[in-house]
Amino acid sequence: MSEAYLLWVRPLIFFITIILCLTAEILRPEFKHDYKSRVKTNILLLLFSILILKIAFPYGPYALTESTNSESSFLFLKSLPWYLDAIITILIFDLIIYWQHRLFHTIPWLWRFHEVHHSDKSMDLSMAVRFHPGEIVLSGLLKTVILMVLAPRLEVFLVYESILSSMAIFNHSNIHIPPRVERWLRYLIVTPQMHTPHHSPIKELTNSNYGNFLSIWDRLFKSFTNESNNSFGLDQVSKNQADSILHQLALPFQPRLKE
C-alpha cells in the first residue's frame, strides 16, 4: 500500500469511530447532558489546535517517521519483524501517554493547560477533542522525541495513532455498556465508565484512571479506582466560562490565588 493511501487510514478510522460512538450515544446514553454550546466550543478548540500544529510541525510526524534511520534513532524498531515493532511501539507509546497525562495533573503549569479539557461540564465524545492548543503542542514535542528514539515503521505508527484517537473518542463517549460486559472490558481497556471518575470535580477522583487505551497502567501504578461518577467539570470554572472559547484559550494564563 502506498504512503498516500496509508495517510488516509487514520482519519477514516477516526470518522468511523465518531459515527459509531455518536450512534451509540443517541441510542443508549449513560446519562442526560447538554450538547449545544459545549460542542461548538470543543470543535473550535480542535480547529485551533490543528492550525497551531500545522504551524509548529509543518512536516508532521509521518515525515519524521519515514526519515528516521539507524544512525538517528536509539532503538530503530523498523529493523525488527513487524509484529515486534507493533507490540513494542504500542506498549511504549501507551505507557508514555499514561505518564504524560499523569504529569499534566501533578505539575502546576502543565495542569493550567490541561484544565481546559477538564472544565467541560458534561461528558460525550466531543470532549475527546477538547484540548488547549498549548497542550497539543507540548504533546507533539513529546511525540517527536519518542519517534526519534523508537523509529517505528510508518504503518505501525499509524496503527497506534488510530488506536489513540479511537480510544479517546470511545472512552469519553456517553455510552451505556451493560455492567457485566463493562466489568470484563475494563480488565483490558479503558471504558467510558472507567474514565468518568477522572472527569469528576472531586480532586481525588480527577487524579485517577489516567489511561487511554490499556487499563493495566492505572492498576500497575496505583492510580486505578472503581468509583462511578455522573458529575463533571471543575468547581472553579463556571458553565458560562467552560462554554466560552475565549475564556478557555485564556485559561492557562489567568492569575490564580493559589495552584
How does pLDDT run across 175-213, given as a tens digit for each residue?
A: 999 999 999 999 999 999 999 999 999 999 999 999 999
Is residue 124 assigned to a domain?
yes
pLDDT of residue 4: 56
Interval 78-90 mean pLDDT: 94
Is residue 85 assigned to a domain?
yes
Which range marks the domain in which residue 239 is found?
Answer: 33-251
Does residue 74 register a pLDDT over 90?
A: no
Is residue 23 assigned to a domain?
no
- Cα–Cα separations (whole angstroms), residue 73 to 83, 109, 218, 252: 19, 30, 29, 34
Q: Is 237:115 a contact under the CB 8 Å cutoff?
A: yes
From the number of C-beta atoms within 10 Å of its C-beta (0-12, 13-18, 19+), residue 55 rates as: exposed
Is residue 12 assigned to a domain?
no
**3-class DSSP state for residue 214?**
strand
What pTM value is reported for the model? 0.91
* Stretch (H or E) spanning 255: none
Is residue 139 assigned to a domain?
yes
From the number of C-beta atoms within 10 Å of its C-beta (0-12, 13-18, 19+), residue 182 rates as: middle
* Choice among 1-5, 73-77, 234-238 with the minimum mean pLDDT: 1-5
The three three-digit cell numbers of residue 48, written as one number: 485551533
How does pLDDT run across 131-163, given as a tens digit for each residue?
A: 999 999 999 999 999 998 999 998 899 999 999
Is residue 2 assigned to a domain?
no
Does residue 22 register a pLDDT over 60?
A: yes
Cα angle value 11/12/13 (rounded, 5°): 90
Q: Is 141:110 a contact under the CB 8 Å cutoff?
A: no
Is residue 57 assigned to a domain?
yes
Q: Could you give the number of structural domains in the chain?
A: 1
Task: Please give the radius of gyration of the chain, using alpha carbons only, rounded to the nearest integer.
Answer: 18
Q: Is 196:123 a contact under the CB 8 Å cutoff?
A: yes
Is residue 10 assigned to a domain?
no
